[in-house]
Structure 1
Amino acid sequence: MTTTFSAIPFAGAPFPRSEYERRQKKVLEAMERANLDALLVTAHGHLRYLTGYDGLGGYFMPFPLILAPGRSPTYVVREYEVNGVRAESCIDEILGYVQQPDFAKVCADVLRRYGLGNRRVGLELGCWNLAPADVSALQAQLPNVKFADATRLVPSVSVVKNELEIEVMRDAMAMTDLAVRTFLGALRDGVTEVEVAAAIHGEVRKAGGDDARLVSLGFGERNKLPHGKPTRHPLRNDEPAMIEIGGTKHAYCAGLVRSAVLGRHPETESLYSLAEGALEAALAAIKPGATADEVDAAGRKVIERSGRPEVFRHRTGYQIGINWGERGNLSLEPGAADVLQPGMTLHLPFILFSESGYLFGCSENVLVTKTGVEILSRTPHTLHRV
C-alpha cells in the first residue's frame, strides 16, 4: 500500500529547523569533549529537545536518535510510527523496524555503516526508555564497541536556555500563574478536589494555553499523600490545601507549588513558615558560578537550624524545561558539583513533612541571570489564607 504523506495535515516541529540544528551542534560539541564517537539518545525529553517529536510512540520499543560527527542525525523508530515521526520532527533520515528484537540489529547496522563498529558510543544508561535488555542486545550485535554512560550529556546542553526557550518558559509560567490563581480563588468549604481541578483546566484552556500538568492536588488529610490525584474529597474549614502544577508550552513546563489554609491549621502553618524560609535562603544562593550543592546547602541549613531536619526528605531542586521530571537532569542536592550558568531554569520545591505526615510547602521556578536570579512566577509564595 502506498501512503501519500504530503496529504496528511500536520503542524510540524514547534521550533524552526535552525533551532534544532543549534541544539544538535551543541550536543556534538559535548560529545567531542566526552571523547564519544557517537551517541544514542533514548530519553523522551531529550528526543523532543533535539528533534521536536514527543517520543511517545516509543512507549513499547526504544526510539534511538543516533548522532555522530559528520553524519546526518538518524532516527531509528517503530515502522508503525514512521509517518508520525516524519510529520512532527525535523529529522530527515528515519529508519523503521517492525518487531522489538529488530531494534538492536537496525541500530547496529547504522553504526557499522558509519564506521563506528569498534568505536566509543554513548548510551543514556541512567534515563527512562532504555532497558537492560536493550543494552545487552546492542552489545551482542556490536561486541567491539565500547559503550559509555552518557546520561548527563544532553542535559548539560539543554539546561542552558536561549532567548527563544526562555520566552516559551515565560508563556508556560503565565499559564501556571493562571492555574494557581484559579486554585486559590476556588477554595471554600465543601468544594472538592475534582471541582477545583476542572476549574483550573477550564480557565487554562479558555486562555488558549496547553493543558497544564497537575502533579498533585490535595485537601485536608489527603495532603499526606505525595503526588495525590484529585478525588471527590471536599475541603472543610480549618484544613490545608496544596497544589503542584505546571503550565506548558511546546512541552516546556513551569512548575509551581502553592499552599493555602481555609481558616486555621497550626501544624501545617508552622511547616509552611519553615519551607518559606528555606526557599528564600536557597534563592539567595543562586548566582552564576555557584554550585548545585551550595544552593542545596543554603536551604537545608535553615531546616537543620530549626531542629527538625527530618521534615525535609528530598533534594532542593532540579533543572526544568522540556519534559518535567526527566532522569539524568541537573539536580540541586548534596554533593552535586554542577556550576550554575546564566540561562538555566530551575524548580525549587520545598515540600516538607509534618510529624503527623502532612506535606506542605512552596516553590519557585527561576531563571539564572548574569547577576543572580529572576523568579518567573508573579504569584507570591506566601501562605494563602481563606
Structure 2
Amino acid sequence: MIDIFKARCDEIIRKLEGEDIDGLLLFPGANLYYFTGVNIGLSERLTAAYICVDGDSFMLVPKLEEELRGQRTWISRIEVWNEDEDAIEILSKLIIECKPRFGVIGLCEDAPWGWVNKLQSKLNGIHFLDVSNIVYGMRMLKSEWELNNIKRACEISDKAVETVFQSLSEGVTELELSHICASKMRELGATPQFSTVLFGAKSALPHGYSGVSKLRRGDVVLIDAGCSVNGYFSDITRTVVFGSPSDLQSRVWEIVYKANRYAISKIKPGVTCGEADFFARSIIESEGFGKYFTHRLGHGIGLQVHEPPYLVKGSGLELKPGMVFTVEPGIYLRGEFGVRIEDTVMCTEDGCVSLTGFKRSITP
C-alpha cells in the first residue's frame, strides 16, 4: 500500500516542477494522508511533511511520536524536534537546506494559518502559493484502490441504515438509533463517522443533531450516515415515515425521489456540476417546492466527506470518469418535516452509478 502513496508523490512532484514550484508543504489532515500514508489529526504539536522537487522529502515530527510516524510512510527521512525546541525554526532550516530553486512552496487551503505565518517570517525570499487546484485535481479522480474502499464503506453504511430501520419502534430515541447505526458500522469493520437520526420537525433541519426526541406514529424519520474504510468515506441519506404517511408527506417524498433518480440518470462525463444541480432542482421547482430545496445538490467524497467537486448552481467544472460525489436533493418544510434522499455515486465512462444501494422507500 505504501507504493500507492509514493506514486502520488511522484506525480505531484512532476506537476509542481512544471509550474516552477519547489515543493509541497503538508500538515495533518486528508492531504497529508493522501501523499504520505500518515493519517493523523491536527494538534498543538507540529507535524509537517515537505515533498521536495529537487531533494529528499522529509517529515518533521515530535520526538515522542518518531517511531509511530516513521512506520506508516514511504518517507525515509524522519526529522524530530524536542519539547524544548522551536519546531517552526527547525522546519524553516530544513526547507532552506533543500535549496529551493524557484523560491515558491506549495500549500493547500487547509494549511494552519498560525504555523504558516510564523514560517513565512523565517523564509526570506521564499513565498507560499496555494496549489489546492493541483492537489484536488488529483484527489477528485479516484484510483481502483480508492474506489474499492469507498464501495466497501457504502456497502457497510447500507447495512447500518437497514439495521436502524429494523429497529424503529414507538418511544425509541434518535440517539439510541444513532448508536445502533454506529455499532453496526463498527461490527462490519468500518470506522463510524456520522449517524444522524432525526424525527418529525427536526427532519427539516439539513444539518440537525440527534437528541432525545422519542419516535411517534406518523413521524418522518431521516437518517444521514457515513463510515470510512482505510480513510475513505461513504454518505447515504434515507427518509421514511413511521406509520401511515400523510398526503403531503407522500407527495414531498415522491418529488424528492424523482429528483434523485432523474439527476442520476442524466449525469455523465462532460456534464458540469452546475448542470447536475439543475437536473434535480428543475424537478423540485416544477412541483412548486423550489424554495424549500435550500442547498447544493451534492459534494465530492473520498478522504473527506465534503471535498471537490461540488455540485452547485453556476459551477462550470465538468464531471469525469472516476469522480465520486453525492446526489442528495431535499425538501425542507420548517416546523413540519423534511425529506432527503442521498446516494454516493460514481461517474463512469458513459453515465454514473450509485454506490449506495439500500432501498428508497417511504416505508421502513
Name the TM-score, length of structure 1 as normaliser. Answer: 0.86
Give distance in 1, aligned partners of 2:229 and 2:130.
Answer: 30
Give distance in 2, aligned partners of 1:383 and 1:292.
Answer: 27
Q: Would the aligned equivalents of 2:175 and 2:197 in 1 still touch at CA under 8 Å?
A: no
Deviation per residue, 1:269-320 (Å, 9 max, x gap): 4333332232223213321222222212222222333333321222221211
Q: Structure 1: which amino acid aligns with 2:325? A: L
User: 1:170, CA displacement in angstroms?
Assistant: 1.6
User: 1:20, CA displacement in angstroms?
Assistant: 1.0
Matched, 1:190 2:167: no
Alignment of 1:126-205 (within 5 A): 126-127=109-110, 130-205=111-186
Superposition RMSD on alpha carbons, in Å?
A: 2.4
User: 1:229, CA displacement in angstroms?
Assistant: 3.6
Give distance in 1, aligned partners of 2:316 and 2:89.
Answer: 38
Q: 1:235 aligns with which of 215, 227, 239?
A: 215
Q: Percent identity?
A: 23
Matched, 1:48 2:37: no
Q: 2:343 aligns with which of 360, 364, 369?
A: 364
Aligned to 1:219: 199
Give distance in 2, aligned partners of 1:324 and 1:50.
Answer: 18
Give distance in 2, aligned partners of 1:188 and 1:331.
Answer: 37
User: 1:336, CA displacement in angstroms?
Assistant: 2.4
Q: Relative to structure 1, is the Cα distance of residues 118 and 106 closer, same or farther in structure 2, using a 3 angstrom cutoff?
A: farther
Q: 2:10 aligns with which of 19, 22, 25?
A: 25
Matched, 1:303 2:290: no
Deviation per residue, 1:148-206 (Å, 9 max, x gap): 11223222112111212211122111101111111121112222223222322333333
Q: Relative to structure 1, is the Cα distance of residues 304 and 222 closer, same or farther in structure 2, using a 3 angstrom cutoff?
A: closer
1:212 match: secondary structure: strand
Q: Which stretch shows the higher mean deviation, 242-251 or 150-159?
A: 150-159
Q: 1:345 aligns with which of 312, 324, 332?
A: 324
Count of residue correspondences: 363
Give distance in 1, aligned partners of 2:280 and 2:87.
Answer: 45
Aligned to 2:362: 384
Give distance in 2, aligned partners of 1:164 and 1:51.
Answer: 16
Q: Structure 2: which amino acid aligns with 1:257? A: T
Aligned to 1:71: 55
Aligned to 1:13: none
Give distance in 1, aligned partners of 2:87 and 2:336.
Answer: 46
Deviation per residue, 1:60-108 (Å, 9 max, x gap): 2453321122433322233333222123333222222346993432232
Q: 2:107 aligns with which of 101, 123, 140?
A: 123
User: 1:339, CA displacement in angstroms?
Assistant: 2.4
User: Structure 1 regions of 5+ residues with no counterpart?
Assistant: 1-15
Q: Would the aligned equivalents of 2:220 and 2:337 in 1 still touch at CA under 8 Å?
A: no
Aligned to 1:83: 67
User: 1:343, CA displacement in angstroms?
Assistant: 1.4
Deviation per residue, 1:102-160 (Å, 9 max, x gap): 34322321221111176111111x32xx3332222122111311321122322211211
Matched, 1:97 2:78: no
Give distance in 2, aligned partners of 1:266 and 1:153.
Answer: 49
Q: Would the aligned equivalents of 1:175 and 1:212 in 2 still touch at CA under 8 Å?
A: no
Q: Structure 1: which amino acid aligns with 2:90? A: V
User: 1:226, CA displacement in angstroms?
Assistant: 4.0
Aligned to 1:107: 91
1:88 match: secondary structure: coil
Aligned to 1:12: none
Give distance in 2, aligned partners of 1:339 and 1:371.
Answer: 14
